[in-house]
Structure 1
Amino acid sequence: MLEKVFHLSQNKTNIKTEVLAGFTTFMTMAYILIVNPGILGKTGMPVQAVFAATALASFIGTLIMALVANYPFGMAPGMGLNALFTYTICITMHFSWQTALAASFIEGIIFLLLNVFKVRQFIIDSVPQTLKYAISIGIGFFITFIGLQDAGIIVKSDGTLVTLANLKTPSVLLALIGVLLIAVLYNRGVKGSFIIGMIVIYVIGIIFGVAKAPAGILGAPPSVAPVFLKFDFSHAMTYKIIPVILSMLFVDIFDSIGTLIGLASKAGYLDKNGNVKNADKVLTADAVGSTLGACLGTSTPVAFVESASGIAEGGRTGLTGIVIAILFLLSIFFSPLLTAIPSFATGPVLIVLGAVMMEPIAKVDFSDFTEAFPVFITLILILLTYSITDGLAFGFVSYVVIKLFSGKVKEIPVALYVISFLFIIMFAIQ
């Protein structure tokens, strides 16, 4: 049956290899079960319910990807999109988490429709590669900044807004050790480096009395009811939310496409022209998973780049995804342990993840100021405005303006004029 469904021999793999690959990918992704509830919990969402929603969204999204596309990709709420959800929509713009969930659902529906009518590729082609890099790099900076605050390494200062914390504070010291530990493990290619680092720092924290031991390891699955279908469409249908939905759409589109191409290349799923085989099925599965995530009560799920670890172990089919999905489902029973890990242990994960997302910066042509400046302004303003939307807005508008007045009009796609105009309108009506 497995051969018939997943075409194992055709993809030059076997059950043992696929199961091992599934375990490997899950270990590299499992940190999201701890980090995502911590981030979304800052909006006022109940952490236990978000934990359950994260696990279920990852289970369902990965299952759909495995069965529809037969690809070995794990799906889970995306880093960057959860930051946009919490820090931009809820904290900066003061929308409720119910409104943010409704915005995520609307974005998921638009995402799905763009797939159905094959518009997504047009949008992707309309945005210059430089700005695509800026989105990934900017989110990396943002995630790192959040991680530094969560870990207590960076604190508020009346004189300089932010400053370095007292490094003699035990929790801060443990967080710094955690950053170095995870970075070393990740660099050495240790599978599950993020979650291993978190657990080690948490255990050390318990030993030295900095953290509390969990009430237990196993427990009854927490209810998802407090966040399930808790949409507030009344505020999500106002004009102020449009730029946010647009930003979510951009981040979702470029993140999913970049991840898809990178993983498909590693798995040998690119055709002679460099196109992803069965791309329509993969993107449709991705879009459906995104929409269901909002219904369950979490930020948008995406295909995780950490799936590359399972591919490196030989995973080539949806059977790898089935294993990942089952492990996410089983993780619900470990909520007492996974939700007890403190922020000084999870913060280091965000810091290292931010560094991992810096890779595209080497591809930016800094010798061309018309390319470099929009990237720079995107990065610095995502960081300092605490808003991915504001950073993208300044980046897109500055790209059009500087190219236009530098005599490089031909390098500006027509669609970019429209996108930039919408961002200008956003600032005008705020």
Structure 2
Amino acid sequence: MGPDHMPDDRGGLLERLFGLKEAGTTVPRECMAGLTTFGAMSYVLIVNPMILATAGLDRHGLVIVTALIAIIGTLIMALWVRLPLAMAPGMSSNVMLAQVVMLQMGQTYRIGFTMIFISGFLFFALSLSGWREKIIMALPASIQLGIQCGLGVLIAYIGLHNGGIVTVQGGRIGFADLSHPDVILTYGGLLLTSVLVAMRVPAALLVSIMALTVAGMFVHLPDGAPMTRLPTRLWDWPGYPWQYFMAFDFGGYASNLVAVLPLTLYFFLTDFFSATATLMAVAGRPPLRTPDGQIPHARRAFIGDAMTAMLSAVLGTSTAGVYLESSAGIESGGRTGLTGVVIAFLFFICLFLWPLFTIIPAQATAPALVMVGLMMLRGIAELDTGRPENWLPPLLITVIIATTTNLMIALASGCLVHTLVVAAQRQWRRLSPILLGLDATLLLYLVLQTHIHK
């Protein structure tokens, strides 16, 4: 057999599945990207169960559920959509489910999962019909730019806050106390990561995460505990919590319809726009987007995202969606679904070795998240300052997210400002029915949020 055939024989299967050559990538690069994304988002195995456990749900069982939905959702994106996108329960719907639905309103987790399932079904139906893609494609370029930059600010803030560099005391945001060794290490990691990225070191973000995790074993927090805490055991059996599987209460939902319907719409609107905005910001960026500037395999991506949202309620957790941390893997070279297969495999390992994989502290992932946010902010260079409707909405979206971390309020503000400015200029043809419908939906969201927070 000639040497020209050997690469195809050895890598033919992966090439046929993922088109590595066409995407300009390699197996090692895809594996490194998967490791990077997993390292940046592995905190979900700790945070999601912890949040839901505050409402009385089983924390250990929810670690398993979190890993399972991450595996299923990521494999849908990897094998069907063929994109390097990781999925897992989001950090907004879990707070809504635990704090508002269960603790404040006193509803059971069965009614809560019923709400999430109905919301996910609406989400799925809209994606299946193709209207989700039409709605997103009708968004003006300035709004799409605002979403990308705003999410860049948000993910950078999450990294700074989770890493302890930024603190909130008395309602005021400030810089952490540099006398604490863990803060010094995290800040030093931020400087180190910046240098690694600037020097184009391969897998710079993963190198940073690993280095800070190891260093954290020798650095102590103010309470005396090490920053990186070794687990008491290396593995544990999965033990799926069957009490949460398809734990729906449609009868209870119907009997409390007046109370739960606004929350169901809130879940739907939040998941629809937040998930769509995240998908656009991650998959619609230059490394992945098509030559005409669109999301590759957009229809499948929207449907896969919606399917995972619906399956979240079936398995027994809050709504899952595409993770912003997927950008970390994309920046590390991930271009195909093979990256997602690696991520799913690592989550599978966590079903058995989750005590070991959860040692990565938030301080270790903080610099990587900040770098991802800054990379997304590079899109501000595309800002068109020639017309007010082109620069007002994106800057307003970015500023509101930077000061409130509220993506939905920012998106609503940007869309409404764009519409009002265009209307004031009497450019009626630029106000499409879809854009006006979007404005009306976002106004409804604002009304529902006001009602919920009374």
Query: Structure 2 length as normaliser, TM-score?
Result: 0.75
Report if the CA contact (8 A) 1:59-1:326 is conserved.
yes
In structure 1, the partner of 2:235 is: 219
Over the matched positions of the two proteins, sequence identity in percent amounts to: 22
Separation (CA, whole Å) in 2 of partners of 1:89 and 1:396: 27
DSSP-derived class of the 2:393 partner = helix
The structure 2 residue matched to 1:75, chosen from 60, 74, 86, is 86
Separation (CA, whole Å) in 2 of partners of 1:218 and 1:145: 32
Separation (CA, whole Å) in 2 of partners of 1:246 and 1:238: 12
Report Cα offsets for 1:158-179 as digits up to 9, x if no partner: 3x72222221122211221122
In structure 2, the partner of 1:300 is: 320
- Deviation of 1:327 after TM superposition, in Å, equals 3.5
Report Cα offsets for 1:107-135 as digits up to 9, x if no partner: 54333323322212211122112112212
Q: From the superposition, tell whether residues 408 and 100 of structure 1 become closer, same or farther in structure 2 (CA, over 3 Å).
A: farther
Report if the CA contact (8 A) 1:403-1:411 is conserved.
yes
Q: From the superposition, tell whether residues 405 and 162 of structure 1 become closer, same or farther in structure 2 (CA, over 3 Å).
A: same
In structure 2, the partner of 1:345 is: 364
The structure 1 residue matched to 2:268, chosen from 228, 239, 245, is 245
In structure 2, the partner of 1:29 is: 37
Separation (CA, whole Å) in 2 of partners of 1:363 and 1:404: 24
In structure 1, the partner of 2:187 is: 176
- Deviation of 1:245 after TM superposition, in Å, equals 2.3
- Deviation of 1:403 after TM superposition, in Å, equals 2.0
Separation (CA, whole Å) in 2 of partners of 1:101 and 1:190: 44
Gaps (5+ residues) in structure 2?
1-8
In structure 2, the partner of 1:405 is: 424
Q: From the superposition, tell whether residues 361 and 89 of structure 1 become closer, same or farther in structure 2 (CA, over 3 Å).
A: farther
- Deviation of 1:427 after TM superposition, in Å, equals 3.5
The structure 2 residue matched to 1:332, chosen from 333, 351, 357, is 351
Separation (CA, whole Å) in 2 of partners of 1:162 and 1:10: 45
Report if the CA contact (8 A) 1:155-1:164 is conserved.
yes
- Deviation of 1:140 after TM superposition, in Å, equals 2.1
- Deviation of 1:6 after TM superposition, in Å, equals 6.3
- Deviation of 1:227 after TM superposition, in Å, equals 6.3
State how many pairs are aligned. 416
- Deviation of 1:402 after TM superposition, in Å, equals 2.2
Q: From the superposition, tell whether residues 89 and 392 of structure 1 become closer, same or farther in structure 2 (CA, over 3 Å).
A: farther
**Is residue 59 from structure 1 mapped to residue 71 from structure 2 by the alignment?**
yes
Deviates more, 1:46-55 or 1:386-395: 46-55
Query: Structure 1 length as normaliser, TM-score?
Result: 0.79
Gaps (5+ residues) in structure 1?
none
Q: From the superposition, tell whether residues 146 and 48 of structure 1 become closer, same or farther in structure 2 (CA, over 3 Å).
A: farther
**Is residue 154 from structure 1 mapped to residue 177 from structure 2 by the alignment?**
no
**Is residue 198 from structure 1 mapped to residue 219 from structure 2 by the alignment?**
no
The structure 1 residue matched to 2:157, chosen from 145, 148, 170, is 145
Separation (CA, whole Å) in 2 of partners of 1:361 and 1:92: 36
Report if the CA contact (8 A) 2:36-2:203 is conserved.
yes
- Deviation of 1:100 after TM superposition, in Å, equals 7.4
Report Cα offsets for 1:152-210 as digits up to 9, x if no partner: 2222343x722222211222112211222333334444454434323322332321333
Report Cα offsets for 1:343-364 as digits up to 9, x if no partner: 3333333322321221322222
Q: From the superposition, tell whether residues 332 and 184 of structure 1 become closer, same or farther in structure 2 (CA, over 3 Å).
A: farther
DSSP-derived class of the 1:215 partner = coil
Q: Counterparts of 1:83-162 in structure 2 under 5 Å?
A: 83-85=91-93, 105-158=117-170, 161-162=172-173
Report Cα offsets for 1:337-387 as digits up to 9, x if no partner: 332333333333332232122132222223422222222222222333342
Q: From the superposition, tell whether residues 425 and 308 of structure 1 become closer, same or farther in structure 2 (CA, over 3 Å).
A: closer
Report if the CA contact (8 A) 2:49-2:60 is conserved.
no
**Is residue 40 from structure 1 mapped to residue 60 from structure 2 by the alignment?**
no
- Deviation of 1:237 after TM superposition, in Å, equals 4.0
Q: RMSD of the alignment, in Å?
A: 4.0
Report if the CA contact (8 A) 2:38-2:343 is conserved.
no
Separation (CA, whole Å) in 2 of partners of 1:144 and 1:105: 31
